[in-house]
């Protein structure tokens, strides 16, 4: 899909966590092997949609993410296609040893969804904010790691998760996300979505930051600066071909993510750039700190994740070309 930057406006839709629940219910109707687990948060992760339709295939595990991961592994080894959900901070932190030894090491066909990712969950504060999940999950051999930008991408990627052989982690968000795609768009694990032709810089983003990147693209075009936006909804396996083309054709790259800069999308893209075509880079993300409690808009602005911060990063990187 290619977007005309000057005409771009953010139009809010459903949260990606809602889309996840809807897609699970769709999967339940077509794939009897799909089973769903949750850690006492099904109303928040929206896996309750599946539970309502298929109560005999839904398992609530209580506030015990580590146990839930182990159960998911066992179900996968017995031929089921389990989807296990919780807040991403609890799933990845509490369940990491089991994700490592019971899922990644034996490479079982289990799927995981961490909702309420990033700092945009707002007033719940830092104990609920997953800003390390990309780094943790990308470190696990054999895992695919996804972060959809809108409801259309989230629904499509849940179906791709079910088709994929091997473990998958997807991050979803709490707030409503802007609708960036129409229902005719197709999505594939490991294949980025490109918005616009090559320009003076490429902005590579994931999750809510894709919408902010498209806003920045529009603002920059008004100032005579042309950019290309790449929605890197799959952090692992990374679309290295898209990264290499962006580096060759644009000559400068900015990454944007709702995650700590250490170990996140920027780190992954930088490694790919260093291998293929080294160019100047700038990085928009959470800067070596935990956030605080506040409204989502306040937090995204305070911690430098909004479109004006991406615009500034593009201008910085262009001075280094």
The CATH number of the domain holding residue 248 is 3.40.50.920
Structural Rg of the chain based on CA atoms: 19
Task: Report the phi/psi class of residue 249: left, alpha or beta, with left for phi > 0 and alpha for psi in -120 to 50.
Answer: alpha
The reply to whether 121 and 228 lie within a common domain is no
Q: Would you state the structure tokens that stand for residue 29, as one six-digit string? A: 């109707």
**What is the pLDDT, as a whole number, of residue 217?**
97
CA dihedral (20, 40, 169, 57) positive or negative: negative
- The pLDDT tens digits for 26-81 are 999 999 999 999 999 999 999 999 999 999 999 999 999 999 999 999 999 999 99
Q: How far is CA 321 from CA 170, 214, 311, in A?
A: 35, 22, 16
Mean pLDDT of the chain: 96
CA dihedral (261, 266, 127, 129) positive or negative: positive
Question: Which is nearest to 236 in space by CA: 309, 314, 315, 167?
Answer: 167
The reply to whether 274 and 226 lie within a common domain is yes
CA dist 115 and 150 (Å) reads: 13
The reply to whether 73 and 131 lie within a common domain is yes
Q: What percent of the chain has pLDDT over 70?
A: 98
CA dist 8 and 15 (Å) reads: 20
Would you say residue 181 lies in a domain? Answer: no
**What is the pLDDT, as a whole number, of residue 266?**
98
Would you say residue 25 lies in a domain? Answer: yes
Q: How far is CA 268 from CA 101, 194, 225, in A?
A: 23, 18, 26
**In the predicted structure, residue 112 carries a pLDDT above the cut 70:** yes
Q: Which DSSP helix (H) or strand (E) runs through 85?
A: strand 81-87
Residue 173 near residue 118, CB atoms below 8 Å: yes
Question: Which is nearest to 38 in space by CA: 16, 4, 71?
Answer: 71
**What is the pLDDT, as a whole number, of residue 111?**
98
Question: Which is nearest to 237 in space by CA: 151, 163, 149, 167?
Answer: 167
Give the three-class secondary structure for 67. helix
Across the range 119-131, mean pLDDT stands at: 95
- The pLDDT tens digits for 85-95 are 999 999 999 99
The reply to whether 24 and 165 lie within a common domain is yes
Q: What residues have CB less than 8 Å from 276, skipping those under 6 apart? A: 240, 243, 244, 247, 248
Give the β-pairing of 281-286 and 253-260: parallel
CA dihedral (46, 155, 306, 133) positive or negative: positive
User: Among residues 18, 26, 65, 209, which one is catalytic?
Assistant: 65
Q: Which domain holds residue 115?
A: 16-171
For position 75, which CATH number holds? Answer: 3.40.50.970
CA dist 52 and 50 (Å) reads: 5
Which residue is it, tokens 């949260």?
15
Would you say residue 178 lies in a domain? Answer: no
- Domains in the chain: how many in total? 2
The reply to whether 137 and 192 lie within a common domain is no
65 is catalytic: yes
The reply to whether 205 and 58 lie within a common domain is no
**What is the pLDDT, as a whole number, of residue 10?**
86
Q: What residues have CB less than 8 Å from 271, skipping those under 6 apart? A: none
Which residue is it, tokens 């995981």?
112
Of 171, 205, 221, the residue at which a domain comes to its end is 171
The reply to whether 158 and 199 lie within a common domain is no
**What is the pLDDT, as a whole number, of residue 1?**
40
Q: Which DSSP helix (H) or strand (E) runs through 193?
A: strand 193-195
The reply to whether 152 and 191 lie within a common domain is no
Question: Which is nearest to 10 in space by CA: 213, 172, 206?
Answer: 213
């Amino acid at each position: 899909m290619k977007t005309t930057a000057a005409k771009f406006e953010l139009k809010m839709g459903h949260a990606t966590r809602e889309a996840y629940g809807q897609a699970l219910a769709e999967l339940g109707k077509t794939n009897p092997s799909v089973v769903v687990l949750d850690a006492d948060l099904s109303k928040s992760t929206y896996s309750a949609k599946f539970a309502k339709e298929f109560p005999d295939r839904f398992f609530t595990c209580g506030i015990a993410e580590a146990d839930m991961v182990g159960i998911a592994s066992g179900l996968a080894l017995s031929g089921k296609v389990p989807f296990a959900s919780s807040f991403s901070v609890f799933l990845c932190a509490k369940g990491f040893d089991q994700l490592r030894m019971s899922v990644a090491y034996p490479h079982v066909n289990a799927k995981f969804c961490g909702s309420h990712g990033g700092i945009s969950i707002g007033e719940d504060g830092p104990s609920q904010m997953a800003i390390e999940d990309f780094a943790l999950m990308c470190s696990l051999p054999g895992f695919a790691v996804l972060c959809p930008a809108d409801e259309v991408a989230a629904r499509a990627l849940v179906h791709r998760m079910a088709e994929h052989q091997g473990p998958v982690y997807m991050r979803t968000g709490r707030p409503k996300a802007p609708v960036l795609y129409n229902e005719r768009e197709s999505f594939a694990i490991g294949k980025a979505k490109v918005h616009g032709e090559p320009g003076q810089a490429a902005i590579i983003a994931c999750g809510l930051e894709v919408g902010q990147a498209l806003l920045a693209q529009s603002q920059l075009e008004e100032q005579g600066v042309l950019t290309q936006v790449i929605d890197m909804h799959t952090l692992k396996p990374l679309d290295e071909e898209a990264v290499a083309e962006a580096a060759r054709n644009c000559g400068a790259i900015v990454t944007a993510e709702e995650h700590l800069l250490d170990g996140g999308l920027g780190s992954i893209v930088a490694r790919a750039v260093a291998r293929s075509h080294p160019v100047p880079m700038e990085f928009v993300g959470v800067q070596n700190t935990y956030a605080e409690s506040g409204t989502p808009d306040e937090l995204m602005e305070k911690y430098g994740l909004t479109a004006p911060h991406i615009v500034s990063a593009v201008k910085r990187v262009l001075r280094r070309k």
